Structure 1
Amino acid sequence: MEAVAEPRRVQTLVDAGISRLPSRYIQPLELRPDPRRCGIDVGGIPVIDLSLSAGDPVPAIACASRDWGAFQVVNHGVSSRLLEEMKSVGSSFFSSPMEAKLRFACDPRSPASEGYGSRMLSNDDGVLDWRDYFDHHTLPVSRRNPSRWPDFPTNYRDTILEYSDGIKKLAQTLLHMISQSVGLPPSYIEDAVGEVYQNITVSYYPPCPQPELALGLQSHSDMGAITLLIQDDVPGLEVLKDDEWAVVHPLSGAIVVILSDQTEVITNGQYKSAVHRAIVNDHRPRLSVAAFYDPSKTRKIYPAPQLVTKNSPRKYREVLYGDYVSSWYSKGPEGKRNIDALLI
C-alpha cells in the first residue's frame, strides 16, 4: 500500500500569507456556509443548571436531548480554573514553533492516530477541514502514554490528566441523568458502553482567507456515546435543528454536551445524536477542546429492550462498535449517514 502524503498543517498555510484558499479546502457549493444566513440567530441550544439549588435537571435534559441532541451545562462541578488551564495549554501548544509541534506529529497513514495532525479520514481524495488538532488517548489508563503528549508548556501533561479524570466524572453523571430521563436505570447507558474509551481532542481553527468557501469541521454526528466540549470566546460551533444551523454561543464556564450515535441507538431513537459543524472566519483563530466518551471497539451496541414496544418498534440493528468506527473513517461523516445505515 502506498504511503499517504500528509497535507501541510493549516497553520503553515496561514503563516505563509496565502490570500486564496487552496482547492483541497474548498467545500462543494451545497455544503458551504450560506452567507445569507450569517448572523441570523435561530435560537440557542438550551442551557441547563446542574446545581442542587436549581432543582431536578432531568426533565430539562430530556427535553433538550429530544429536541436538540445537544445542550450546555453550567454549575457542572468541573472547576473554572481547570477549564481555563485546559484551553490555555492548548493555545500555548498551537502558538509554539512548528518545529517543536512536529515532534508530536501523528501517523498520517492511520486515521485517528494520537498526536498533532490535520486530517482525520483515511481516504486521500476528500475535501480537507480548515483545522489542525492534537488528539490524546486518555482512557482507559492503559492507553495513556504522556510521553506522546507535548512537554510544553510545563504543565501540559498534568493538565490533560486532571482534565481527563474530571470530565469523565461529569460524563458519567450526565449519562445517568439521560438514562433516567427515558425510564432506564441510572447506570444503563454507562453499563451498555462498558469500559470507556476517552479521547481528548484540542482543535485549532486559524483565520481563513475565504471562510465562505471552507468549513473548520464538516457536518457530522459523533460516533460514540457523548461528547463534552469547551470553546474559547470565538463563535464557530453550530448545531443543526429543523434544517437550520444554530450558533452555539460561547458561554463562560459552560460545557457543551453533544449526544452521539450510540446513545441514539441505545434510546431507540427517542434521543437524536446532534449533527454539528464548525465554521471559520477571516480574522480570529478559534480553539475548542472535545472529550469523547466512547465504547471499546469490541462492544456490541443495540437498543435497550425496555424501550422497544409495540408502539415503538426496534429502529436500529445491533452494531459492533469497532465496525462502526471503521465505517465512519472510511466513508467520511456527511451528516448522519453512518447511523442511518443501521436503520431497520
Structure 2
Amino acid sequence: MMLQVLGSFVRSRDRGDTLEKALTTTTTRTVADDDLLLQLKINYYPRCPQPELAVGVEAHTDVSALSFILHNGVPVLQVLHGTRWVTARHEPGTIIVHVGDALEILSNGRYTSVLHSGLVNREAVRISWVVFCEPPPDCVLLHPLPELVTEGHPARSRMPSG
C-alpha cells in the first residue's frame, strides 16, 4: 500500500497530494491542508580538525514521512544498520531519501523510521539542505492506514523510537 502511495506521489503532477491526504486523514483531529508543515533545514558545518571529538547532529529519527537531503558531495549522514553505523553514499548530484516516523506509523511498521546522525569532516565544509513534510506539532498522534491493519498485523500502539 505505501509503495502505491509513494508511487503515485512520484508519478503525480500533484506530487504532494497523496502523501498530504494520508497525513491529514489519519490523525486524531481533522487537519486542514495548510496545517502541514513543509520544512527546509539548512546545515553548515565548517571543517573540523578533530571530527572524532565532535558531534555533528546526535542520533535521532525525523517526525516527517520522508526526508530529502541535498548535499554538497561531502559525507553528511550515518544510519544505523543493524548494530553498526554506516555512512550513507554521498555521490555528487544525488539526493538522499529516508523514512521518518510519520511513514512508519502510517504503514503500521511496514517501513521503519531511520535512526541517523549528521557528520562533521576534517577536510571539507559540509553543507546540506533537508526538506521534509510533517504533521503540525499539536497533531502528532497519527494512526496506521486502516487497510494496513489486519488480524495478523494489528495496529501498533506505540512506534519504536530509534
User: TM-score normalised to the size of structure 1?
Assistant: 0.38
Aligned-residue offset at 1:178: 7.9
Please say if 1:177 is aligned against 2:2: no
Secondary structure of the residue aligned to 1:288 is strand
Distance 1:224 1:274, change over 3 A: same
Aligned-residue offset at 1:283: 2.4
The one-letter code matched in structure 2 to 1:204 is Y
Which stretches in structure 1 are left out of the alignment for 5+ residues? Answer: 1-57, 63-173, 180-186, 318-338
Match of 2:29 in 1: none
Ranked by relative contact order (alpha carbons within 8 Å, sequence separation 6 or more), the top structure is: 2
The runs of at least 4 aligned residues of structure 1 exceeding 6 Å deviation read none
Cα contact 1:265–1:316 (8 A) shared by 2: no
Judging by fraction of residues, say which structure has more helix.
1
Selected match of 1:314 from 149, 155, 160:
155
Match of 1:219 in 2: 59
Which stretches in structure 2 are left out of the alignment for 5+ residues? Answer: 10-16, 25-32
The one-letter code matched in structure 2 to 1:272 is T
> Take 2:5 and 2:95, find their aligned partners in 1: how far apart are those partners?
15
Distance 1:175 1:217, change over 3 A: farther
> Take 2:5 and 2:40, find their aligned partners in 1: how far apart are those partners?
18
Match of 1:108 in 2: none
The two structures, once aligned, show a CA RMSD in angstroms of 2.8
Please say if 1:249 is aligned against 2:111: no
Aligned-residue offset at 1:301: 1.1
Aligned-residue offset at 1:271: 0.3
Judging by fraction of residues, say which structure has more strand.
2
Between the two proteins, the alignment pairs up a number of residues equal to 145
Equivalences for 1:235-314 in 2 at 5 Å?
Answer: 235-299=75-139, 300-314=141-155
Identity of aligned residues (%): 31
Equivalences for 1:10-29 in 2 at 5 Å?
Answer: none
Selected match of 1:208 from 48, 62, 79:
48
Match of 2:28 in 1: none
> Take 2:135 and 2:47, find their aligned partners in 1: how far apart are those partners?
35
User: TM-score normalised to the size of structure 2?
Assistant: 0.76
